[in-house]
Structure 1
Amino acid sequence: MKKFYFLLFALFCVSFTFSQSNLKGRVLDSNGFPLPGATIIVDNDKGTVSDFNGFYRFIDLESGNSEISVSYIGFEGVTASVEIAENATTTQDFTLEPSATELAEIVVSGYSSGIVKALNQQKSDLNVTNVISSDQVGKYPDDNVGDVLKRVAGVSMQGDQGEARNIVIRGFASGLNSVTLNGDRIPSAEGDNRNVQLDLIPSAMIQTIEVNKSMTPDMEADAIGGSVNLVTRSNPSGFRASATLSAGAEPIRSDGSNANIALVVADKINDKLSYSLSSTLQTRNYGSDNIEFEWNDPEDWAEDGAIGEHDIRRYDVKRTRRSIGLNLDYEIDDNNSLFVKTIYNHRDDWENRFRLRIGNIDDWEADPSEGVRVRKQTKGGIGDDINDNRRLEDQRVRKISFGGEHLFGKVTMDWKVGTSKASEERPNERYVRFQNSSADLSSIDLSDPEYPVFNFEGDSWNDPAEYGFRHFEQAQKYTEEENSSAKINFELPYNDGDDKLKFGAKYKVKEKMRNDFWEGFEDGFPFDTMADADYFNASIDGYEPGDQYMLGNFATAEWLGAQNFYSGDGSEILFEEFAGEIYSADEKVAAAYAMVTDKLGDKTTVVVGARFEHTDIDYTGRVYDEDGDYDSVDDIESISGSNSYSNILPSLNVQHEFSDKFVANLGYSNSIARPNYYDLVPYQAVVSSDEEIAVGNPDLEASLSNNLDLMLDYYFGGTALISFGAFYKNIDNWLYTFTTENYVYNGTPDYEYEQVRNGSKASVTGFEFGLQTRLLDNFTLMANYTFTDSNTDGIEGRDDVPLAGAIENMYNASLAYESKKFFVRASMNYAGEALDEIGGDSWEDRYYDEQLFVDLNATYRLSDKLSIFAEAKNLTNQPLRYYQGVKERTMQLEYYSYNWNVGLKYDF
């Protein structure tokens, strides 16, 4: 070992001491845009590939005249004679032209050019990846990054209010995947998990999206399913600017609308300094129509009926996104450069919800004369300029990083320090409830269990005078996560530059907290029923689940927002709503890695190494019991804990080129999934009135996965690819939520108990197939299919349960027509059903139903600079649907309808 360190030290001394002849440059297309993944060869001997921005570098070449050749799929190769200066760095850029037989006629539109860039980068990557370039992103009707990602093989998205939010890669839920921005983790704005909200990031802010399905040691290891790296624009070769303006309609609401403004400006100010500025403003006024059912245990249907509770809901939503990113690049000299990367995303989500909830159905089943309980709740916010009578969810993410790249002799060093913060604030969130305790229900129609219908006698169920005032509620909610990180990497070529040793270290600190507060107001107000309030008919003509679902009269959001809650007889702190959810957590991860990239002949490249990660986490939560005596939050018992563990995670990636067109990638890696912060906190929340108890689990262990990946790619025809992949993952200590309704608490049986626990093992096996090819002269077909099979062991009382989130069948297809002036594309995305949450028994399991989306978009070039476009999304009017136990039992059904927009884009 001492000899090894001495040798390493000697190598550094040699590397830093002697000068050498170097070559660097950039590969661009005829419009000055970078070509990532280009292959550059010196004297038919040494080779490298260009990076995201088209840059390449050779170290320690022989001085004198050398022949440099550059190749790129879909472009004409070039060869140039370059004089390599002695003991200096020579700069040589290359400009490539589209292949006359493959792209020259249509590359001006950008779509085929985008496919080519993605294919070249994917081919040059030494691990299993899928790549999407900004040119491709712009040709889909996708406003946010999540909508773009659902078109990648093996990737699906789970939505929120009709927008793609949480990513599922190869059957692994969002918390088991990582999302990075320029290689560093993005903090999460959600309170109880590690999920990154991908609907928060506009697609216009991103240059390249890279989905890594196998890992190398220089990547963060917390990515069992995979890792998504979002690369922002940087290092322009000259002045570039574009502006996009669009507007459209959201037919789910009569006044529904959408609008989008995007601006991109980039320039190379001089030989040293360049900047890239991206900004967007998006607004949507829309909504959703929703019905929900809670089904009883089939064994209890004879006594209690099939359904325990039923909701009819209307959501009116306004979302505004404001994003800005500024990247600066400064080249000190040929061997040293610095950069600053910044991004800020701010999404405001204003929402009103009108919820009709039918309960006490078991009493009605026993004696129909008792009627059922109907509660009508209006959800909104205070009537000020911030909330505007709506519930406001204010989510923000900002990230700043500063770093550099330096060449010291043969050693390349890069470093980066950064800070980021994500937050979610929901101020002055308000609720009012009115209740009819004995509404006359005549029947429950279960002839179609996907659409059960509750039928009332007459109109008294909708009479505002029959709905007594129950209470007001007001909540303040805040969650934040702050990250700080520093990393450094070294790369040292050896064996005449064909092979590389790379090693480095990273240290990051995360601080997460959630602090909510909830009050109730019940007595002393000058109204007894809804008739004393301002109310309106919330029912909608053409309600998407069906006109048989009637909301009826509700208190208006404006009336709710105008009330002075403190004018009554005082407030009551509703500890049961929030006390158990207050927590804080500090996580520190120290990592180091080493890896070797070794070329075994002309055809095979091996990347082998290992990553070490040590995790320390400290957390604090609360122990709450509804039967306790509390006057304030400070009276609730606080409990703390800590944990630490270390992991060594080896990996091996092998790439073999059978020919210039046929490439195979084989990968083995170890990866990790840390438990959610909140799940580790030793909290306890007991609500005796509902016989419910939820507890944390400080004994949770991180999940560890052994991963095998194989990908075979055959490239042909410039923009064509056939690919086949297979994968297998074996996970120890996987995480699931244990629930039971037979828990005994303080001698009282039949409590509903919930806790996140470790299962013993889980496995995922699957394959994927992809095809993209030109049809005739102007048509492009893209299609992919992924099959996933999963199995878990270690759930108490359950066998043969699939992994939550694992979708068995997924496919995408699109057909595009492209000419010099006109582009049109129809695209389809399908994700099959999947287990979403594990219940206490199979009839309680919650499933995410299959979804099929069809989108259409078209662009016409009015001139070289000006284009007009039109987009239509969700033409199938695909709803979000969950079912309970069996597919026929609808648990939640939510419609968003289709939407469309038209716009202009101008390239300066």
Structure 2
Amino acid sequence: MQSATSSLKAAASAPHKERLIAKASKSISARLSAISLAMMLAGFSTNALAVGKLEGQIRDNSSQQPLAGATVTLKELNLSQQAGRDGRFFFVGVKDGDYTLVVNYLGAMTTEHKISIRDKQTTLQDISLNSQDDVEHIRVVGQQGALSKSMNRQRGADNVLSVVSADVLGNFPDSNISESLQRVPGLSIERDQGEGRFVRVRGMAPDYNSVSMNGTRLPSPESDRRAVALDVVPSDLLQSVEVSKTLTPDMDADALGGAIEVKSLSAFDRDDTYLNLNTEASQDTLTDNINPKLAASYSDIIAENLGIAIATSWYNRDFGSDNVETGGDWAFAEDSGFDDAALASVDARDYEINRERLGVGVNFDYRPSDDTDLYLRTLYSEFDDTETRNSAKTKWKSAQQADALSQGKTTRSLKSRTENQNITSFVLGGQTRFDRWTFDYQASHSSASAEKPRDIAGADFVAKIDNTGFSNTQTPQIIAPEDYYQNANFELDEIEIAASKAEDTINAVNVDLTRQLTLGDYSAEVKTGVKVSRRDKSNREDIWIYSDLGDQGVSDDALLLSQYAGNELDYSLGRFGTGIDSTPVWELVNSLDADDNRDEVESTINDFDITEDINAAYLMGHMDIGKLRILTGLRVEQNQWDSTGSGYDGAKDEFIDINHSSDEDHWLPALHLTYRYTDNTVLRAAWTNTLVRPTFGQLAPGYLLEEDDGDIDLTFGNPQLKSLESMNVDLSLEHYFGNIGLISAGLFYKDIENFIYQADLAGLGDYVDAHSAVTFVNGDSADIYGLELSYVQEFHFLPEPFNALVLNSNLTYTDSSANISWIEDGQLLSRDIPMPSQSDLTANLSLGYENSYASVWLSAAYKSEYLQEVTELSDERLDLYQDNHLQWDFVAKAHLTSNVTLYFKGVNLTDEPYYSYTGNSAYNAQYEAYGRTFQLGLQYTNY
């Protein structure tokens, strides 16, 4: 395999360019390392100076609630930091002397305080801020207060950061974190059955982004992916979500698009007892089912130094969808573009779904002394997905055009399965502050699993029906005689039973050491740390194929669909016919011998175990020169994979054990420049280097070799794949104004190497004589660049009642180019494609009206079309695209009392369907309708 992959890469590479980049990177890395090392040595060399510590907390003067994200500056030293989520700040290793402490918070009046710091002493300085307007206190609740929190955090960050707080999420009808994140600039989501699941950042596919919770990486329940489906984690359990679009060296490097960090509740987020109770009922218009939801969260501080926070959420939803798809099974005449399109098959599907979500988080914070904070963060999230799918697929002997009629083979099938996914996470850590150094430490254990007990993967009943065809190329509808709907015409052909379980476990330990210091007239900070991570991914599958049922003693009458028919299905896209009842299918399966029907090949080749050991270390520092902060450093990550699996050689009818090991080293320098022109105007520039490791499905070592009349066909994973590497450049300008206001613009560019795509290696290297050899390979480079714009405005300057309006909007334009190659008739051919899963345009618009009595929000989320899959390397007309998607949502809240709120939410108001197409939007790949969903709820909170 190695020779074939190398041949494909070498034919289309640019070695001179790669050598120049490598040489430049090594030179820059060496310089950055020298700078960081010099800063660290300077930190050690100042031990003889008299130093003390300063700590305090920033609060709202009226409510006395902590103000997270406030900027705190020692004016004479030009030494700044942000207050933490609990409003606290800490300066260690500060020279003995008198200083001016300046506190700045959007929505509050800037204050200055004279303080004295003495040798080996801790100076305490708690500060209360007043609103800059004539309101009673700083807004810390509701949408306006939530936006203020988010903007303060973003303004003070050293990297390009987007923040969404829990209060913002409450103003949208989002049932999970994935749906919440679609409101963030540059982010969009991938949906499953209309519900948000995976998150895309700056057009990068979900597997190209990292997801962490409380500082630890979340594993993926999916057997073949790294991406975490964030619908597993209810939004009720979180305090905020941060999306880092540029990474600093102290962050895990495996994120090309961005790093998503979910932060759960802490008792010290508030200064007193907190209780939130929520009950809700929802109804979707497609099935008219009523679905309940309950959520509760509680936090309290015990004996001043111990805090406990508990959150739980439960949601049980019965719903469905109506679908018609072709899977791209179109044929286009040669050299005719999209004219004379013909369709080979069409599949109508009716889904009935139950999804039950349970999430529980219990968090402890303990402060045994003024210098030490300890915490324990836990998460348990369970997601049960029960799906019944009835399908009616018609396939013609040859592809035919719309409204033409011929004999077709129709397969009516049932899929009935339950999948349980869960994620469990424990994070134990803390921070200790010494005279000159701050020591952070954390250990974590996270596990995820996805288990499907024995299920009906397919029960197929087949009939040949004359005079069948289809109409409409976008939402094809079957044209058929009455025989198509007669169950007695269909005979049971095959039943597939499946069971599977995937597990993913991550154990990690990391420590960080930070030193604040002064170098001449400049304030600086140096930070270093190490992280050790051990990950185990496994997958097990069992498949039983029950075919030739007559030979197993099943009578002819017992094969007729009429023996298994259920009720007539309510299918909104046309007439469907009756569904299939799973009970008699199971009765038949259980009467047969499972061992005789086990598929040994399929039950073996998809099993694998992959261990991934990552050792990382970094050295970084920043220096403040006037209004400019220079942050630079180097991160080193060492990775080793060990994989085991099985292959099957059909020509020899034998299984082969496969064991493979590989390793990589990555040197990843970074440079961040932040220029604070004023307190509210910030310019940023960043040059970073990141990576993404191949997915587990791509690395899986199993393979299948099949022989048919001398033709050899192979499909296999590629454990020799290299990680994707990206050089990233970001430029941005942010201006904050008013009590709540932001206008920002950002440019980004990514140069990606080792782009991974699926290819057929037949005719190359070890596969020169193969008819097909389909696997994953590292291809040529890919480029992606874009523009992000945001505008947030509270219109408090307008006359009443318009001064209660709030606008939150953003737009991201992205473009990309990737190159794929293949062999055809002995020649190496290639073509450019956009990056898969990358929309050119994503946009969000929310307009709200909020006062003390009520709030109303209308929001829209839009993403343009994007490439889903290249199905035929040599024919771009068969590329699958997801069409643009625009969803409107609505929220109205009435504050019945100061503690009780009645709310109504409308989801997908315009009944926007899911639509994907083949090459041109006129030709269906998949169309799926979900209907609208309406929610009515009651919330009690004492905050």
Pair in the same fold by TM > 0.5: yes
Match of 1:855 among 889, 914, 930: 889
Query: Residues 432 and 484 from structure 1, CA distance in 2 versus in 1: closer, same or farther, beyond 3 angstroms?
Result: closer
C-alpha separation in 2, matches of 1:731 and 1:377: 43
1:768-823 Cα shifts (integer Å, max 9, x gaps): 11111123301011111111110112433332211111110111101000111100
Instruction: Return 5+ residue gaps in structure 2 as ranges.
Output: 1-32, 823-828
CA contact (8 A) 1:464 1:529 kept: no
1:467 and 2:511 matched: no
Aligned CA-pair RMSD: 3.0
Q: Say which of 770, 780, 783 aligns to 1:760.
A: 780
Is the aligned partner of 1:91 residue 2:91?
no
Q: CA deviation at 1:717?
A: 1.1
- Relative distance call for 1:307 and 1:62 in structure 2 (3 A) is same
Q: Secondary structure at the match of 1:571?
A: helix
Note closer, same or farther for the CA distance 1:488–1:250 as it changes in structure 2 (3 Å cut): same
The verdict on how the C-alpha distance between 1:822 and 1:687 changes in structure 2, with shifts beyond 3 A counting, is farther
2:902 and 2:138 map into 1 onto residues whose CA distance is 17
Does 2:160 align with 1:140?
no
Moved more, 735-744 or 809-818: 735-744
> Residue in 2 aligned with 1:618?
642
Question: What residue is the counterpart of 1:385 in the other structure?
Answer: none
Whether the 8 Å contact between 2:382 and 2:422 is mirrored in structure 1 is yes
Shift of 1:171: 1.3
* Whole-Å separation in 1 of the counterparts to 2:467 and 2:883: 30
1:299 maps to which of 310, 322, 333: 333
Describe the shift of the 1:282–1:97 C-alpha distance in structure 2 as closer, same or farther (beyond 3 A): farther
| Secondary structure of residue in 2 paired with 1:718 | coil
Q: Describe the shift of the 1:312–1:767 C-alpha distance in structure 2 as closer, same or farther (beyond 3 A).
A: same
Task: In structure 1, give the amino acid aligned to 2:559.
Answer: T
SS at match of 2:415: strand
Question: What does residue 7 of structure 2 align with?
Answer: none
Partner of 1:529: 559
Task: State the partner residue of 1:501.
Answer: 526
* Aligned: 1:251 with 2:285: yes
Matched, 1:876 2:896: no
Task: State the Cα distance separating 1:473 from its structure 2 match.
Answer: 2.3
* Match of residue 347 from structure 1: 383
Q: Is the 8 A contact 2:276 2:941 kept in 1?
A: yes
Q: Label 1:28 to 1:440 Cα distance change in 2 as closer, same or farther (>3 A).
A: farther
Query: What's the counterpart of residue 544 of structure 2?
Result: 519
- State the partner residue of 2:257: 225
Structure 1 residue 470, shift from structure 2 partner: 1.7
Say if 2:420 and 2:450, in contact at 8 Å, map to a contact too: yes
In the alignment, is residue 640 of structure 1 matched against residue 683 of structure 2?
no
Which residue of structure 2 lines up, in the alignment, with residue 892 of structure 1? 926
Give 1:330's aligned residue. Answer: 366
- Which residue does 1:712 correspond to in 2? 733
Superposition deviation, residue 225 in structure 1: 0.9
CA distance in 1, matches of 2:869, 2:580: 34
- Name the CA shift for 1:430/1:219 in 2 (closer, same or farther; >3 Å): same
- Superposed displacement of residue 62, structure 1: 5.6
C-alpha separation between the residues in 1 aligned to 2:728 and 2:541? 40
Shift of 1:134: 1.4
What pairs up with 1:417-816 in 2 under 5 angstroms? 417-431=443-457, 433-445=459-471, 448-457=472-481, 459-495=482-518, 498-521=523-546, 522=549, 523-526=552-555, 527-531=557-561, 533-540=563-570, 543=572, 546-547=573-574, 550-567=575-592, 571-575=596-600, 577-601=602-626, 603-626=627-650, 629=653, 636-686=655-705, 693-739=714-760, 751=772, 753-775=773-795, 776=798, 777-796=803-822, 797-816=829-848
Give the secondary structure class of the aligned counterpart of 2:515: strand
Asked whether 1:155 is paired with 2:187, we answer yes
- Seen in structure 2, the aligned counterparts of structure 1 residues 581 and 569 have a Cα distance that, compared at 3 Å, is closer
Aligned to 1:128: 160
Partners of 2:190 and 2:791 lie apart in 1 by 25
Aligned position for 1:388: none
Q: 1:827: which partner in 2?
A: 859
Shift of 1:676: 1.2
Residue from 73, 76, 83 that aligns with 1:50: 83
- 1:740 Cα deviation after fit: 8.3
Structure 2 residue 49 is matched with structure 1 residue 26: no
Whole-Å Cα distance in 2 between the matches of residues 683 and 531 of structure 1? 37
Is this contact kept in 1: 2:406–2:467, CA < 8 A?
A: no
Whether 1:169 aligns to 2:169 is: no
User: Following TM superposition, by how much is the alpha carbon of 1:738 offset from its aligned partner in structure 2, in angstroms?
Assistant: 1.9
Tell me the distance in 2 between the aligned counterparts of 1:530 and 1:718.
Answer: 71
* Shift, 1:880, TM fit: 1.5
Give the partner amino acid of 1:422: A
Q: Is 2:424 the partner of 1:392? A: no
Q: How far apart are the structure 1 equivalents of 2:38 and 2:695?
A: 43
Question: Retained in 2: the 8 A contact 1:860–1:867?
Answer: yes
Amino acid across the alignment from 2:698: D
**Matched residue SS, 1:148:** helix
Output the CA distance in 1 between the equivalents of 2:766 and 2:71: 67
Alpha-carbon deviation of 1:730?
0.5
**Aligned-pair CA distance for 1:659:** 1.6
Instruction: For residue 574 of structure 1, report the CA deviation from its aligned partner.
Output: 2.4
Q: 1:13–1:693: structure 2 CA closer, same or farther, 3 Å change rule? A: same
Unmatched 5+ residue regions in structure 1?
Answer: 381-390, 630-634
CA contact (8 A) 1:709 1:726 kept: yes
Verify the 8 A CA contact 2:249 2:633 in the aligned structure 1.
yes
Q: What one-letter code is carried by the residue in structure 2 that aligns with 1:247?
A: A
> Which amino acid is the alignment partner of residue 759 of structure 1?
G
Return the TM-score normalized by structure 1: 0.91
| CA distance, structure 1, for counterparts of residue 340 and residue 785 of structure 2 | 41
CA–CA distance in structure 2, aligned partners of residues 718 and 621 of structure 1: 59
- Tell me the percent identity: 27
1:371 is matched with: 407
Greater shift in the superposed pair: 321-330 or 431-440: 431-440
**Residue 10 of structure 1: CA displacement?**
9.1
State the secondary structure of the residue aligned to 1:271: coil
CA distance in 2, matches of 1:858, 1:364: 50
Structure 1 residues 125 and 4, CA, compared in 2 at 3 Å: closer, same or farther? Answer: closer
Distance in structure 2 (CA, Å) of the matches to 1:209 and 1:173: 19
Please report how far the alpha carbon of residue 540 of structure 1 lies from its aligned counterpart in structure 2 after TM superposition: 1.2
Aligned-partner Cα distance in 2 for 1:705–1:364: 45
| Bigger mean CA offset, 753-762 vs 195-204 | 753-762
Q: Residue 411 of structure 2 contacts residue 462 of structure 2 at CA under 8 Å; is this kept in 1? A: yes
Are residue 69 (structure 1) and residue 102 (structure 2) matched?
yes
Give the drift of 1:35: 1.9
The letter for the 2-side match of 1:726 is: L
- After superposition, the Cα gap between the structure-2 partners of 1:7 and 1:424, relative to the gap in structure 1 and judged at 3 Å, is closer
Deviation at 1:876, TM superposition (A): 1.6
> Would the alpha carbon gap of residues 882 and 407 (structure 1) be closer, same or farther in structure 2, given more than 3 Å must change?
same
Aligned mates of 2:362, 2:388 — CA distance in 1? 35
The whole-number CA distance in structure 1 between the counterparts of 2:762 and 2:322 is 31
Q: Check conservation: 2:182, 2:861, Cα contact below 8 A.
A: yes
Q: Which secondary structure state, in structure 2, belongs to the residue aligned with residue 75 of structure 1? A: coil
Note the C-alpha offset of 1:581: 1.7
Question: Would you say the 8 A contact 1:38–1:49 is kept in 2?
Answer: yes
Measured after TM superposition, the shift of residue 827 of structure 1 is 0.2
The whole-number CA distance in structure 2 between the counterparts of 1:409 and 1:599 is: 21
For 1:574 and 1:179, the matched residues in 2 are separated by 36
User: Normalized against structure 2, the TM-score is what?
Assistant: 0.88
Contact 1:681–1:696 (8 Å) recurs in 2: yes
Asked if the contact 1:671/1:706 (under 8 Å) is kept, the reply is yes
Paired letter, 1:77: T
Report the equivalent of 1:386: none
> Taking structure 1 as reference, are residues 270 and 686 closer, same or farther at Cα in structure 2, changes over 3 Å only?
same
